[in-house]
Structure 1
């Protein structure tokens, strides 16, 4: 069996190389800039090192203002970690139920969830703020955590995947063996839905980690800020404190490291999940 023509392979490789350069150049610039002082950021060539002292600059950034960046980093881990896990489990349960149980109004519920996918988060920020203010939860961790635990796209993806990857015959066999619905879902359903769950978790984690507008509306206390909002506040004061330019770049560099690690680890489970729990036809 022959492969594709040489010109097609060259064209494909060239396009992939261009795409790789497009995505990697900003990361390279961020790595280089994190090693520079504020003066070198504006007075040296942007894509090469100039008197690099990355450890010194990162230490100054981490200890600035009583280590507020560490607090922001911990807040982001809390919001993104807890929110993504909760959103994944809720989406898995809802998607599984919509795919494997027949009940009145099922399609109406699913259509309502699809409508939620189409509504931008910025349109919900103000109503959410008014609601949480009435509940006394504004300017707390819960004001960011609770909205982050809902993922309409995750429910949609889990329903589609559960319908295709979880055989009804396997569920019937488990019921005949005396397994309850909760046990079937946790032991069989979640295992068979692993690739979809990893996808939902990664998407939701990245979405929460990079979310800016919701914390901006909900939070007034700087000690509750996530990284994105905190770095923006530093940038706003950089005209009066020039060293904040360097701290902002260093903080942005550290902020992408968890996403890079998570994507690398998640792809491993993504691939292995594709072959787990397969059923022979």
Structure 2
């Protein structure tokens, strides 16, 4: 059984349009049932330009972790419709509380693996994976929800990468993290990549799937704040979800970065709603 959780967080990216994500989905589907977790806003204490809105991002992520963990403990599968990707720090942390070994797949154009010394923007939505792996200098990020890393590098997988910062490339190689750039998917075929991913996840207890809508071609899915040329198709992302659910022990799914302000004819919104229907068929 699934439980949809929604959050309108945007302060990890500072893209105001994302804050209307749930509002627009409710307008299109008034019958949509979900637990709403509002974005927390806290007064900044550090004022560190490398970590914009740190206190607010941590507070929101912690609340999401608590809500998601409650659903997991009730043997429900959280489907998390989130704003910017920083919030996945909370949802992945929740999944990690339930198992000894968690696998995470990040379906994204970006690696979200920057740390304080490599971030080009200071926006925390570019850092959640580094925090989940315990690579940040900031203890509050590494220790969100509980102390220590939420997963090991060997159980982290990326697919769809197209825009990776230099510092992130160093960390990808340094920690030997499995990753598939979009051009590798094109060259080798999605099925081949999925076979390798499924094989990698045979040694984990559960898998958390985090789907960033900018993993897809912005000509097909335009409602994202940081579009990158090229990318997966909506059909391919649904193929990835089906394969993972059918062949690995998926425990939670994130759908992130829907920005209705940048959408066209509600194409992206409809993709989100269609994806929810796909997931309801499984959980």
For the superposition of Structure 1 and Structure 2, which TM-score range results when normalised by the shorter chain?
under 0.3
- Which structure has more relative contact order (CA 8 Å, sep 6+)? It is 1
More strand, by proportion? 2
Instruction: Give TM-score scaled by structure 1 length.
Output: 0.23
More helix, by proportion? 1
Instruction: Give TM-score scaled by structure 2 length.
Output: 0.23
Structure with higher Rg: it is 1
